[in-house]
Amino acid sequence: MFVYSLALVWGAGLIELFTPARMSVLVPYVFIFPILILAPRLILVIDKKFKEVVSSEWLKQVEVFIFLILAFNVPGSLVFHDLGFQYDRFLHFIVAFLALALFLILWLPVMKINGERIEKKRILIMLFFVLFFSLFFWEMFQFTSDQIFGTKSFFDVRQSIARDFLEDILFGTLGLILGTIYINKKWNSLLKTLEGTL
């Protein structure tokens, strides 16, 4: 999945380069996303404690979720956002859902290293609010980028900026809520699977 993720983002960057190149798409896909794809492997190289706690299966799970998040983002960045059929609503919903699962997989080894007890309620509340505030941060980042660099990342062809902002937050929050409900319901089986990777 690591190779597929890199091929996906660099392929998207290459397509963007040979079309009317938008820096708001080109820079993240060519430079920022590859660093994020490499991050889990870099953590295993840098942090010996982390490497001792997790298995290769853990890394595979992390990279599957990274790939899925990117696979939903690429069509939006290259085509769907410009068509005006509100792909952004679905994207915020599904990415929030997937991000919740990804952050759970990332957080469990940290808790194990710190010797913390795994408490379902505390973990789910913490992850929900971290990702909920990340939604706001992302939207503010897009808006700031548009104002300073003249990008159009905070732009929707069919609706106002205010409505776009509210819908992004709403659908992202809905994805987090449903993701939290799902993880809460499947907690024991999910935890058993995840602990098998540690």
Could you report the per-residue pLDDT of 32-73, keeping only the tens digit for each? 899 999 999 999 999 888 888 898 899 999 999 999 999 999
Q: What is the pLDDT of residue 144?
A: 73
* DSSP assigned state of 118: -
Q: What is the pLDDT of residue 153?
A: 57
Count of Cβ atoms closer than 10 Å to residue 111 Cβ: 15
State percent of the chain over pLDDT 90. Answer: 46
Report yes or no on 34 lying in a domain: no
The CA–CA distances, whole Å, from 162 to 51, 76, 148, 168, 172 equal 44, 20, 18, 10, 15
Report yes or no on 92 lying in a domain: yes
Q: Which residue has the higher pLDDT, 159 or 101?
A: 101
Report yes or no on 22 lying in a domain: no
* 3-state DSSP assignment of residue 85: coil
Report yes or no on 99 lying in a domain: yes
Cα gap 115→74, rounded to integer Å? 38
Domain limits for position 91: 55-195
Give me the number of domains the chain comprises: 1
List, for residues 83-116, the tens digit of each pLDDT value. 777 788 899 999 999 999 999 999 989 888 888 8
Report yes or no on 158 lying in a domain: yes
Cα gap 124→98, rounded to integer Å? 14
Report yes or no on 127 lying in a domain: yes
Q: Are 169 and 135 in contact (CB under 8 A)?
A: yes
Report yes or no on 43 lying in a domain: no
Count of Cβ atoms closer than 10 Å to residue 125 Cβ: 12
The predicted model scores a pTM of 0.86
